[in-house]
Amino acid sequence: MTADKEKRRAISREAARRRRRVESDVFGDLSRLLPLQASVRAHLDKPSIIRLTLSFIRMQALLRETESAGCNAEAGHAVRFPRGVEAGEGRLFESETEEIAPLDETKMYLKILEGFLMVLSTTGDMIFLSDNVSKYMGLSQQTELMGHNIFEYTHPCDHEEIRHNLRLTAELGCSQKRDFVMRIKSALTHRGRVGNLKSTTWKVLHCQGRVKLCVASSSVSCLLLTCRPLPLSHTLLSTHTFTSQHGMDMRFTYCDQRVTSLLGYRPEELLGRSIYDLCHTLDTSCLNKNHLNLCLKSQSVSGQYRMLVRSGGYVWVESHSAVIPGVQPSRSRPNPSQPLCILSVTYVLSGVEEPSLQLSLDQTFPRYPR
């Protein structure tokens, strides 16, 4: 009896072994069909192979959809891509030389944008990531991240906002833009080197993009996003920008001299004033969101809003802000320290609109310094 049982067990073990071998072979076939570098392919495990296959199929479906639909998905634009010209776009410049030919145009885009491309499915799967993602997240290569769900890598407090952005609205015709800030895990140290696994921190990413609707099958619909870390470094400031520092309640604690030529206020006049007082009331919610982002995520890009000019009227501006911590958090003091201030770089976008209009109390009579 036992011998029989033993024999049966042996047979089933063999069968199982054979099944597993067959399965491994099929997985091997699949991985060889994927357009990957050999070194990358060697390290893939089975779920990763499936994930990458899924990504590949989805991206192909997406691109086919783009081609066939042409510009139909976005009814707002009247111009189509002239096919002939597109074919010649491979060259960056009219004349080819050895120096310019190896220029990788795509790499150039990615470098200029200082970010990576992310294609998100409606359930939050990162279908595709451009390969410079490791430069920003440091954690892993593109192939290790692709196919995973974004909720595993982002700050839990931001999940609600991400979910909200993933929701597709049914309307076509108007391009659905997305613009939000989220925190993602990063293993990079402050100096940009890949730290060890124990030192992962949160990195703030500014994600902008649009929804790519797929009419044929909604499972292919996705979000195309460029994700850039905030803030950009070493930006040249022009005469049309000014910097300012604020307390955490957004009251001015410092403002540079340029504000006088741009808005008419002297820096001393602004100290202690709340930024909400100086802006058009209809933009209160825009500033509020900016402020909340700063408090929660420590960096933010405001949308466009209106700042009132001292002598009347207003200008359109946009601010890029960050919270400057008093002391850098370090290994010995991992808790976030007392924030020192908010630094804001404000770009003035327009000229003065309606210069004769006095909308606010400040514009009517001279304020006495507090």
Half-sphere exposure of 101 (CA within 13 A, CB side): 4
CB closer to another protein out of 3 and 85: 85
**Residues 173-212 within binding reach of another protein (CB under 8 A):** 177, 179, 185, 197-198, 200-202, 208-210, 212
Which letter does DSSP use for residue 163 in this model? H
In 3-state terms, what secondary structure has residue 298? Answer: coil
Kindly state whether residue 22 participates in binding another protein, applying the rule CB under 8 A. yes
Q: Is 43 in the site for another protein (CB under 8 A)?
A: yes
**216 counts as binding another protein under rule CB under 8 A:** no
Q: What is the contact mask toward another protein in residues 47 to 86, using x (rule: CB under 8 A)?
A: xx-xxxxxxxxxxxx-x--x----x----xxxx-xx--xx
Q: How far is the CB of 330 from another protein (least distance, A)?
A: 12
Q: Are 84 and 100 in contact (CB under 8 A)?
A: no
Q: Does 160 bind another protein (CB under 8 A)?
A: no
Instruction: Write the CB contacts of 210 (distance below 8 Å, at least 6 apart in sequence).
Output: 175, 176, 177, 178, 223, 224
Restricting to residues 127-156, name those near another protein by CB under 8 A: 128, 130-131, 139-140, 142, 144, 146, 148, 152, 155-156
Stretch that binds another protein, among 4-12, 261-269, 339-347 (CB under 8 A): 339-347
Dist CA 9 CA 19 (whole Å): 15
For residues 59 and 128, is the Cβ–Cβ distance under 8 A?
yes
Widest CA span in the chain: 105
User: Does 24 participate in binding another protein (rule CB under 8 A)?
Assistant: yes
Q: Single out the residue of 292, 297, 296 nearest to residue 203, CA to CA.
A: 297
Task: Tell me, rounded to whole angstroms, the distance of Cα 208 from its chain centroid.
Answer: 6
For position 166 contacting another protein by CB under 8 A, the verdict is no
Q: Which of residues 283-312 bind another protein (CB under 8 A)?
A: 283-286, 288-289, 291-292, 295, 301, 303-304
Segment contacting another protein by CB under 8 A, of 2-10, 246-254, 260-268: 246-254
